[in-house]
């Protein structure tokens, strides 16, 4: 019973960290990345598909992203989706190739992005704390139902706290790496 509760916590906290890292990859830095645009939803014949399902996304150094759309008739929809996204990007088309030039980030924009990264990180830390509290309640309930003894309950809570600390360190490392990328 205690090992199952701990495994559930590890699995769920791992999902939270994965979601956080995926969200971090979509935040713009001075370095172009395909993750910035590949999940933008495009209206393609009444269905909303991620951009990466409609074409090949690549990088042209130093600050350009290019998309080769497979269906010529989808180019207009892709351009529209990019331009109405919250990224504030402008797309140029040449046939079925779309080019997006990323201007260098201003100091003010970098500061906004750092604040955004910290806000997203705190949201995920809160999710981890809620998850930890849920698991601790399960441990207390198992103790109250005489499924585990007091030593097992405290050992479980201690292990959950260690895992929580480890997850928070992973989040902190991801924050530091992202802030460093934004500052470059």
For 145-172, how does the pLDDT look when each residue is reduced to its tens digit (9 = 90+)?
Answer: 988 898 988 999 999 999 999 999 999 9
Together in a domain, 17 and 50: no
Q: Are residues 137 and 88 in the same domain?
A: no
- Contact between 113 and 102 under an 8 Å Cβ cutoff? The reply is no
pTM greater than the 0.85 cutoff: no
Instruction: Outline where the chain has alpha helix (H).
Output: 2-25, 75-84, 107-144, 150-183
Residues 2-51: tens digit of each pLDDT:
788 889 899 999 999 999 988 887 777 777 788 888 888 999 999 999 98
Residues 39 and 129 in one domain: no
Q: Total structural domains in the chain?
A: 2
State whether 91 and 134 are in the same domain.
no
Instruction: Answer with the one of 101, 125, 142 that is the final residue of a domain.
Output: 101
Q: Same structural domain for residues 145 and 125?
A: yes
Per residue in 83-94, pLDDT (tens digit) is 888 777 888 999
């Amino acid at each position: 019973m205690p090992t199952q509760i701990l495994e559930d916590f590890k699995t769920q906290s791992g999902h939270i960290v994965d979601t956080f890292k995926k969200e971090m990859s979509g935040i713009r830095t001075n370095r172009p990345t395909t993750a910035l645009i590949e999940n933008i939803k495009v209206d393609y014949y009444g269905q909303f598909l991620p951009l990466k399902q409609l074409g090949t996304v690549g990088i042209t150094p130093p600050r350009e992203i290019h998309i080769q759309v497979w269906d010529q008739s989808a180019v207009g929809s892709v351009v529209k989706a990019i331009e109405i996204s919250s990224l504030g990007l402008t797309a140029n088309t040449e046939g079925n190739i779309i080019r997006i030039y990323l201007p260098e980030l201003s100091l003010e924009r970098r500061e906004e992005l750092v604040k955004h990264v910290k806000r997203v990180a705190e949201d995920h830390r809160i999710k981890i704390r809620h998850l930890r509290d849920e698991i601790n309640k399960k441990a207390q309930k198992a103790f109250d139902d005489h499924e585990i003894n007091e030593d097992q309950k405290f050992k479980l809570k201690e292990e959950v706290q260690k895992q929580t600390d480890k997850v928070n360190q992973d989040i902190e490392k991801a924050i530091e790496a992202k802030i460093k990328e934004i500052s470059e």
